[in-house]
Structure 1
Amino acid sequence: MKWKGFTDKTSMLYIGLSLIIITIFFDKFILNIPVFCEDDPYVSFVYIIRTFIISIGTLFIFMSLINVNKLEEIAFDKKSQLVIIFSLLVVVLFWFIFMYSPWYFSQLSLEDGPIEFGSFLLLILSSVIMLNVLRKTLDVDEVSKYIKVYYLILSIIFFIIAMEEISWCQRVLNIETPEYMKSNLQNEINLHNFATNYIESIYYFGAFVFLVFLPFLKITHKNYLNRIDDNLVIGSPIVGIFGSLACAFNYDMWNIVFTQVAYVFSLFYLLLIINLLRNKNEKIITFCLLIFMIVSQVTFIINGENLIRYWEVTEYREFIIPIGFMAYAISINKYINVNYIVKNEAYEIA
């Protein structure tokens, strides 16, 4: 049965992309705001309509990519349920701190503070796990050399992001900033502060694609990588849940179109997960995550004037994203162990 008119999936995709592109042009030539604008959220009537248009465009894109015939029920094991609940409690705690003590919220996110160190530690652990995955698959012929190179590159990327987070241990080792590095925003040994707005936007949206969008495609278009086992490279549905949580921590970057696209798409992703989960308790947990994402983002926008530094919310986002990276690394490691390492060992014994 063919889809026709505005229900045709290709038409829906074009309409969605057109609405997003039109919004970007409207920002540039009518509202005179840059594409990567960092500022307090604009909440006038015009910008509320703008958010509505972005949401409709994102919905069209989301719906155009759903393949109903490929959808299957999802179930989480007990450990995954506990991890989701623990993560929810952590982000809710962050939100409560923001609501009741903006000063303490600020202190936790300072340079060399627990939030920054936690981000660094999670990224290093993700890098180590991916390196371990590479080690395990070196002698596994069923895993192609391209996937093994991918694991190595991913491990290096996680390591570089971790070191950028702490300015390559500059403050720990008390290293003076070289002259050629002093022109960056923080006068530190790192690369991302030479073009902070652009690099942060690329990092956040890239994390959304990696942690939410790709798992979404994996759910809606099973085996869309053709001859490659997509479980070797794409995160499980639970990875998308962690990625979605990160998309709900916005303030200074809320005005950016891609930020709102990632946020709205993540809400729809959670709705899809709720619909596919077979366990009632899992549905309730995921629904609580969805409600939290809405409440937290609204309160960040409304109460953002209480922030000591207006970019502090993104410091917490940079803590949650590595949780998603580590969840990804663990899910790949688990899949390799169960479907390749154990099976090969059983075959050798036989």
Structure 2
Amino acid sequence: MQKSTLLALIYALFLLLLCTDLALFTFAREWHVRFIAGEDRATEWLTFTFFLGAALAGVRIVRKHSARMDRRVLCILLGLSVFYLVCAGEEISWGQRVFGFATPEAIVERNQQQEFNIHNLKLPVLHPRDIFGLYVYLYGIALPLLIGWRSRARSQNWQGWVFHPGIAGCFLFAEGVNAVRDPLCQFLTGRIEPALQTAACNHIEESVEMYWALAAVCGTLLLHRFWRESARRPRRL
């Protein structure tokens, strides 16, 4: 399958999720509230599943191709896999509501939602979500586009074996949803009841995280495909 076809299928998956979400919110709002939006609902579990899938895909790349990897490539891919695993755990508060354990008092005092996670900690300078935002813009968009622009870099330099240009195609869609988040919430002001507007805006924020997670797993699978195809012409990278 050609890369353009694969990217088209990925975008179709993004659009399918987006259209399904909008249709359910519009025409089956009660069902949407019960099963899609909010904690322990479909959106949260899909986000967890996508991040976990990205972590496992990254580990698979390392396991199958580590013998011909540059040490920098190996460290970056392992680091990304650990990062995705942390994101998956954070999304469900490390299984707190599944296993029923309490939040330690030291975390309760500093956590905005009194949950067992770090991404909701109240910090004076850098919010943990800012770190993820930096990852999205740097690894997900900027570096893949730069490597893609330097068209020969993929085959000659180690960077192209980590920052594959196809990754940017995944994250640009997710970031597009993020870009319209605030304007959409402003558009809803006065058009629906306040309580529903709050729920809708919270769900939009959760959906952005889901699309970022989907971009992560799709981007890592694209990278996995690239490494698999490169095995036909072995070289150390």
Please state how far the C-alpha of 1:299 moved relative to its aligned partner.
4.0
List alignment gaps of at least 5 residues for structure 1. 1-74, 251-262, 264-292, 346-350
| Contact 1:110/1:116 (<8 A) preserved | yes
The whole-number CA distance in structure 1 between the counterparts of 2:130 and 2:168 is 19
AA in 2 matched with 1:110: G
Query: Out of 105, 115, 138, which is 1:179 matched to?
Result: 105
- Assess if the C-alpha contact under 8 Å between 1:127 and 1:159 holds in 2: yes
Identity among equivalent positions (%) equals 18
Structure 1 equivalent of residue 202 of structure 2: 311
Aligned pair in 2 of structure 1 residues 93, 148: CA closer, same or farther (>3 Å)? same
Query: What residue is the counterpart of 1:217 in the other structure?
Result: 146
Find the aligned partners of 2:31 and 2:100 in 1 and give their Cα distance: 26
Question: Could you say which structure has the larger radius of gyration?
Answer: 1
How much does 1:321 deviate? 0.3
- Please give the per-residue CA displacement for 1:241-299, whole angstroms capped at 9, x wherever unaligned: 3212222334xxxxxxxxxxxx4xxxxxxxxxxxxxxxxxxxxxxxxxxxxx7xx8754
RMSD: 2.8
Aligned residue type for 1:333: H
Deviation at 1:240, TM superposition (A): 2.0
Displacement of 1:115 after TM fit? 0.4
One-letter identity of the residue aligned with 2:188 = N
Distance 2:21 2:137 in 1: 20
- Give the secondary-structure state (helix, strand or coil) at the position aligned to 1:117: helix
Alignment partner, residue 195 of structure 1: 122
Q: What is the aligned partner in structure 2 of residue 278 from structure 1?
A: none
**Secondary structure of the corresponding residue to residue 213 of structure 2:** helix
Paired with 1:299 and 1:308, the residues of 2 have a C-alpha distance of 12
Q: Contact conserved, 1:130 with 1:152, CA < 8 A, in 2?
A: yes
What is residue 324 of structure 1 aligned with on the other side? 215
Residue 245 (structure 1) aligns with: 173
Give the 3 Å change call, closer, same or farther, for CA 199–92 of structure 1 in structure 2: same
Equivalences for residues 58-77 of structure 1 within 5 A: 76-77=3-4
- Post-superposition Cα deviations, 1:102-128, rounded to whole Å, max 9, x if no partner, equal 665554221111100000011111101
SS in 1 for 2:120: helix
Whether contact under 8 Å (1:211, 1:243) holds in the other structure is yes
Aligned to 1:343: 233
Cα deviation code 1:223-246 (max 9, x no counterpart): 568962333111333x32321222
Q: Any idea what SS the aligned residue of 1:192 has?
A: coil
Matched, 1:80 2:7: yes
1:318 CA drift (Å): 0.5
Deviation at 1:98, TM superposition (A): 4.3
Match of 2:39 in 1: 111
Return the alpha-carbon distance in structure 2 between the equivalents of residues 332 and 138 of structure 1. Answer: 14
**Comparing 178-187 with 111-120, which one deviates more in the overlay?**
178-187
Q: Partner residue of 1:155? A: 81
Q: Identify the match of residue 204 of structure 1 among 128, 133, 136.
A: 133
Q: Kindly state the Cα deviation for residue 308 of structure 1 after the two structures are TM-superposed.
A: 3.3
In the alignment, structure 2 segments of 5+ residues that lack a partner are: none
CA 96–298 in structure 1, closer or farther in 2 if over 3 Å, else same: farther
Q: Could you state the TM-score of these two structures normalised by the residue count of structure 2?
A: 0.81
2:198 alignment partner, SS class: coil
After TM superposition, the structure 1 = structure 2 runs for residues 263-302 of structure 1, keeping only pairs within 5 Å, are 263=179, 298-302=183-187
Q: How many residues align?
A: 224
SS of corresponding position for 1:185? coil
Conserved? CA contact 1:121–1:162, under 8 Å: yes
The equivalent of 1:229 in structure 2 is: 158
Instruction: State the distance in 2 between where 1:188 and 1:328 align.
Output: 30
Which of the residues 61, 66, 78 maps onto 1:138?
66
The 1-side partners of 2:149 and 2:211 are apart by 25
Contact 1:231 1:332 in 2 (8 A): no
Aligned equivalents of 2:175, 2:31: Cα separation in 1: 22
